[in-house]
């Protein structure tokens, strides 16, 4: 019997586990589906519409991916590779200057992940909105022992 060629279109729990494992690591569905041994995105979307167990597993994986993105933000922020570059002045002197293209790309990568995290897990990563103080400043709490004025 000849081996089948092409992308898988038949759902299996093993394939669902593989897809969701990669999603939980923060890899996008688009990137996961680019692999030769993975189904097309449209197939995965069809499974999400027709297979409740897969929909639940997918939703959990996307929630976990928000935490993976938090880890990526730390890596991006800590990586100073190529943040500085050497330029030469008119007189031939070497000068270290910020590599603004790299710095802006890193900022974009962090901001994009923060935005996605806030959408995927708003309770944990979303903006906190004060709904208790009517916009008025709250009194500063006093910590430690309180002394009474005499």
Determine the Cα–Cα distance for residues 60 and 136; give it in Å rounded to an integer: 38
Residue 8: pLDDT band (50, 70, 90) is: confident
Residue 138: pLDDT band (50, 70, 90) is: low
Residue 118: pLDDT band (50, 70, 90) is: very high
Residue 4: pLDDT band (50, 70, 90) is: low
Residue 146: pLDDT band (50, 70, 90) is: low
The whole-number pLDDT of residue 81 equals 95
On the question of pLDDT at 148 being above 60, the answer is: no
Q: Convert the pLDDT of each residue in 26-44 to its tens digit.
A: 999 999 999 999 999 999 9
pTM: 0.71
Determine the Cα–Cα distance for residues 45 and 54; give it in Å rounded to an integer: 10
Q: Convert the pLDDT of each residue in 42-61 to its tens digit.
A: 999 999 999 999 999 999 99
């Amino acid at each position: 019997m000849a081996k089948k060629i092409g992308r898988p279109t038949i759902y299996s729990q093993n394939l669902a586990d593989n897809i969701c494992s990669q999603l939980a690591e923060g890899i996008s569905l688009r990137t996961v589906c680019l692999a030769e041994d993975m189904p097309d995105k449209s197939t995965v979307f069809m499974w999400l519409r027709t297979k409740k167990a897969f929909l639940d597993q997918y939703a959990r994986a996307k929630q976990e991916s928000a935490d993976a993105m938090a880890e990526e933000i730390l890596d991006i922020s800590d990586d100073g590779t190529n943040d500085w570059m050497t330029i030469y002045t008119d007189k031939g002197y070497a000068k270290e200057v910020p590599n603004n293209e790299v710095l802006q790309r890193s900022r974009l990568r962090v901001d994009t992940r923060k935005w996605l995290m806030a959408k995927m897990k708003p309770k944990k990563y979303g903006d906190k909105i004060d709904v208790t103080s009517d916009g008025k400043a709250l009194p500063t709490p006093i910590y430690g022992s309180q002394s009474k004025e005499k």
